[in-house]
Amino acid sequence: MYLYIYDEFVQEKRHEREVASIENRLTDLGITGKIIRLALFKRADEQIRDEARRGVSTVVVVGNDHTVRKVLDAVVEVGLPLGMIPVGGESAFARMIGVSSGVASCDVLSARVIQQVDVGLLNGKRFVAGLRVLTPEAELFCDGRYRVTLTDRGTMEIHNFTTFDAIEQEEVGNPQDGTLDAVIRTDGRRSFFRRKQSCQTRLPIHTAFLQSKHPIRVLCDGEEMRADQFQIGVEEGTLKVITGRARKF
């Protein structure tokens, strides 16, 4: 049986028609199931665990990237496949796994092609795409062996796929290789004849530690987090996702 998690905003009147056509298509395909509607004080985690005990076979998120983040920990813990029906605009996660928006996503669910992908860990909380470090002076200690620092101006990111806002602009990391990628973009140096050229560092990592003299801010799967230090890790192949043909990995 399928469990559909409707995010709070999906229940707004402006999405009524879109949701109705999706539900009709799911009925045609014979993959209807139980619906849970999220609300202000109604968390998805406990309900997913309860429904998993009752024999649910698949969890489907109806919403956007924030909805995926809300259910990710529970879905990985119960070990059920995760599908997505994007509603209410663009979803980077949907593009990564090759799911179109609206009714077309129902056909991807029905085909049920499942891939196992890695999941990142940031201070014990899971992430699927990647994170951007917003504190430039932060130092990255990789695999307990070496320290990475920026000597020029630049940005530091940790990718499983890539960050949500960069999905269309660059090659996506391999989320099935058991590693994360530390991706650092620096300005490079300007020579007399050549313009300043951006340089990209790419280091595969299994574990890392972010540290700074000041509190560190990171943007992780679209959510801003603050802490004095961040422990980063990876869980190999723990997320099962239902993917479409246009998946980016």
Partner 1 sequence: MFKREAGASPGGETVIAQGVKVDGEFTSNGNVIIEGEVTGSVVVAGDLHVGPSARIHADVSAQNAMVAGEIGGNMRVADRLELVESSRVMGDIEAQVLSVAAGAMINGRVSMGEKVGGKKVNE
Residue 200 binds partner 1, judged by CB under 8 A: yes
One residue of 21, 24, 57, 149 binding partner 1 per CB under 8 A: 149
Handedness of CA 110, 116, 120, 121 (dihedral sign): positive
Query: Per CB under 8 A, which region of 18-26, 92-100, 181-189, 238-246 contacts partner 1?
Result: 181-189
Judged by CB under 8 A, does residue 176 bind partner 1? Answer: no
CB-nearer residue toward partner 1: 201 or 231: 201
User: How buried is 238 (Cβ within 10 angstroms: 0-12 exposed, 13-18 middle, 19+ buried)?
Assistant: middle
Q: Which has the closest alpha carbon to 152: 110, 177, 185? A: 185
Give the residue carrying structure tokens 């999941």: 119
The nearest distance, CB 113 to partner 1, in angstroms, is 23
Work out which of 43, 49, 190, 202 binds partner 1, going by CB under 8 A.
202
Q: How many residues bind partner 1 (CB under 8 A)?
A: 24
Question: Residue 17 corresponds to which tokens in the numbers above?
Answer: 């028609």
Q: 188 vs 237, which CB is nearer to partner 1?
A: 188
Contacts of 218 (CB under 8 A, 6+ apart): 122, 131, 132, 133, 134, 135, 210, 224, 225, 226, 230
Among 150, 208, 210, 239, binds partner 1 (CB under 8 A): 150
In eight-state DSSP terms, residue 160 is S
In terms of DSSP bridges, do strands 33-37 and 2-6 run parallel, antiparallel, or are they unpaired? parallel
Q: 7 near 66, Cβ under 8 Å?
A: yes
Work out whether 153 is an interface residue with partner 1 (CB under 8 A): yes
Looking at the Cβ atoms of 17 and 171, the one nearer to partner 1 is: 171
Is there binding between residue 112 and partner 1 (CB under 8 A)?
Answer: no
What CA–CA distance (Å, rounded) separates 165 from 79?
Answer: 27
d(CA 112, CA 152): 46
Stretch in the footprint of partner 1 (CB under 8 A) among 79-87, 123-131, 193-201, 225-233: 193-201
The residues pairing with 220 across neighbouring beta strands, listed in sequence order, are 131, 223
**What minimum distance in Å lies between the beta carbon of 153 and partner 1?**
8
Binding mask 204-243 for partner 1 (x = CB under 8 A): x---------------------------------------
* Interface residue with partner 1, options 9, 18, 73, 154 (CB under 8 A): 154
Query: Is 146 one of the binding residues for partner 1 (CB under 8 A)?
Result: yes
Residues forming contacts to partner 1 in the complex (CB under 8 A) are 145-154, 171, 184, 186-189, 197-204
